[in-house]
Structure 1
Amino acid sequence: MRAISDFSITVDNEYIDFFGPPNPSVSATLRGKIQLVLTKPLTIKNLSLKLTGKSAVASVYYYFKVVKREDAVLAENRELPEGTTELAWQFKLPGDLPPSFKINVGSCDYQLSALLICDKTLFGSNKTRRYKDIHISRSLISSLDLAQSLPPMVYKGKREGIIEYKFFVPKVICTDETETHLSLQIKTLQDVGRVKKVVVTLEQNERFLNPWGAAARAPEQKQAASDSSSNSDASGTGIEPGGSNRHNQSFMNTETTPGETEAYANYSDPANLDATVSITLPLNKVKLHPRIKTTSLEVTHHIMARVVFVHEQEQKDLWVHFPIPVSMLPFAPPGIGDIPSVSTIEYDLPTYDTTMEGTELPSYTGAEPPGG
């Protein structure tokens, strides 16, 4: 359409930050303008804007689910004058939207699309489209300094009659961190319970949830120490459940290890069987993703620790594991009053009232919040 010199979507802020757990009663406003520059008057039939959020899964076929769709008609059956016309628009975004992401097993993307329909022309199409990507983040913490200054969670456990221990685990890990710190306090009840070392890993599980309701149970794919997210592009069309597609679905469950280290116990006083193990866990083996949950994808994290005893023949290794929140940082630093106070970071954190005892099974007797 030769009358159109420029047709574009402008956004006041294409980066939207949400803080805290998903909450549909909390909303953010996305606003901007549609700009048309015409070399002569133009009669349009319809000018509309659509916001679409799509959660996609890269599998044996390409599955996607629309997580958000909003439509607005900005102009209809009217003549626009020569020159520049700007039409304002805005959408309300509910606070339970999943964040934008791209991981090994899928992605979630948001996009604005504008459609301009004019009177039919003798040559060419009477439809013109423009697109604009929108990015959404969800953060549990407002800054890296704040994340590192939070008091740790304390997990208590024991091997009956052998040792009692406390693991001090970070309250939250940020994807921007290059390392995180833990510690283990050991109360040895008899000499056979002397600890030699502790092997600690941070495990990241990317899981495809069956979009038709059943839990996805897939063979785990151990990934080597490299990030393959750059190869996770998928193409094709969305396929709804039905027929052989449903039964041929290959569910994916990819486990990676962003961090792994070991630290040795130091019994400085031979007469004292108690010890403290300080652990620095590097986070540089594979790309660390934040905690993610959509209807079809989930990313979760666990700290796994293996306690190795000096008398290995008499005491089998003791395994303990703890879920841990991982958060991205916001796109923009929040202003005062924009996010909850530090003490409200209690959401999305695990607490345990039960115990799983055993010499080989992961075990703990409870968790204490900071200051507990």
Structure 2
Amino acid sequence: MKEIIAIDIILDTETVDFFGPANETSPQQLKGKIRVLLNKPLKLKYVVLKLNGTNRFLPTSLGTLHHQYSNIPEEVSVTTVYNTIQCLPAPRVLAQGVTDFPFEMQLAGDSPPSFENAMGYLQYKLTAVIAPAALLGKSERFRKTFPVRRFTVPGFRTLSLAKQRTLYEGKREGVVKYRFDVAKIVCVEQGSVAFSGIMWPINGHELPTEVTVLLEEVGVC
């Protein structure tokens, strides 16, 4: 029986958005976690995350022009972006159940946006490699693609950031469950911020009388 039931890559955001002209000095942070589900304890040798940006051109899409030149291959593939990080500092035994490995890596600010059409595509992909420590253990891989977008329309940055929201869910054991929809980023131009939420009391406890929201300034839109 295989110890590894499932592997998943969970990103904090489903897309990576760049704003303005390409600028290699303004990278974006790609954050998330690798989730491993085991049916029994397993010692791992390493957990590696690889980032690939692959540009593929299909000359066959040129039709008759392609057939005039027999030396042109059926397809041309070039890796334009590559990065790899180690998510497990040293070999360790994972317990049965779910284990998360948080990660953070940079995507260069001059990375081209994803695209796909009849002539080819540019695709970004994350690959998680899980290697058991056993001598004959076989590495397991999980791949996930994600879109990269670039917006150059003036004013779109503020509009787009203002619409980025996230859902926080949790509970205080035996007291209350909660779910809040909040803005991930608040731009100065907005002037105000609004959020909504629901709380459910547990075991007859009273609801909290106050909810505190922490706004941390990390940059200016």
Counterparts of 2:76 and 2:14 in 1: how far apart (Å)? Answer: 26
1:91 aligns with 2:127: no
Aligned residue number for residue 74 of structure 1: 87
Aligned residue number for residue 126 of structure 1: 138
Aligned residue number for residue 33 of structure 2: 33
**TM-score, length-normalised on structure 2?**
0.61
1:121 deviates by 7.6
Cα pair 2:91 2:133 within 8 Å, conserved = no
Deviations 1:271-313 (A, max 9, x none): xxxxxxxxxxxxxxxxxxxxxxxxxxxxxxxxxxxxxxxxxxx
In the alignment of these two chains, the number of paired residues is 151
1:6 deviates by 2.3
Amino acid at match of 2:55: S
> Unaligned 5+ residue runs, structure 2?
60-71, 163-185, 189-221
1:139 aligns with 2:151: yes
Identity %: 29
Counterparts of 1:334 and 1:50 in 2: how far apart (Å)? Answer: 28
Counterparts of 1:91 and 1:14 in 2: how far apart (Å)? Answer: 15
1:130 deviates by 0.3
Report the RMSD for the aligned CA atoms in angstroms: 2.5
Aligned residue number for residue 333 of structure 1: 160
Secondary structure in 2 matching 1:56 = strand
Aligned residue number for residue 285 of structure 1: none
1:104 deviates by 3.2
Cα pair 1:23 1:95 within 8 Å, conserved = yes
Cα pair 1:14 1:133 within 8 Å, conserved = no
Query: Which of the numbers 92, 102, 126 marks the counterpart of 1:112?
Result: 126
Cα pair 1:119 1:126 within 8 Å, conserved = no
1:33 deviates by 0.5
- The structure with the larger Rg is 1
Counterparts of 1:337 and 1:139 in 2: how far apart (Å)? Answer: 17
Aligned residue number for residue 296 of structure 1: none
1:5 deviates by 2.4
After TM superposition, the structure 1 = structure 2 runs for residues 1-372 of structure 1, keeping only pairs within 5 Å, are 2-59=2-59, 60-61=72-73, 62-75=75-88, 76-120=90-134, 126-141=138-153, 333-335=160-162, 337=187
> Unaligned 5+ residue runs, structure 1?
147-328, 339-372
Aligned residue number for residue 317 of structure 1: none
1:120 deviates by 4.4
Amino acid at match of 2:161: P
Counterparts of 1:140 and 1:103 in 2: how far apart (Å)? Answer: 21
Secondary structure in 2 matching 1:126 = coil
Counterparts of 1:42 and 1:55 in 2: how far apart (Å)? Answer: 37
Counterparts of 1:87 and 1:77 in 2: how far apart (Å)? Answer: 13
Amino acid at match of 1:12: D
Counterparts of 1:50 and 1:86 in 2: how far apart (Å)? Answer: 17
Cα pair 2:43 2:93 within 8 Å, conserved = yes
Distance 1:66 1:337, change over 3 A: farther
Amino acid at match of 2:141: R
Counterparts of 1:16 and 1:129 in 2: how far apart (Å)? Answer: 23
1:56 deviates by 1.4
Secondary structure in 2 matching 1:334 = helix
Counterparts of 1:85 and 1:52 in 2: how far apart (Å)? Answer: 24
**TM-score, length-normalised on structure 1?**
0.37
Counterparts of 1:81 and 1:133 in 2: how far apart (Å)? Answer: 28
Amino acid at match of 2:129: L
1:36 deviates by 1.2
Counterparts of 2:118 and 2:37 in 1: how far apart (Å)? Answer: 42
Deviations 1:301-343 (A, max 9, x none): xxxxxxxxxxxxxxxxxxxxxxxxxxxx88x8223659xxxxx
Amino acid at match of 1:334: L
Secondary structure in 1 matching 2:104 = strand
Counterparts of 2:133 and 2:27 in 1: how far apart (Å)? Answer: 38
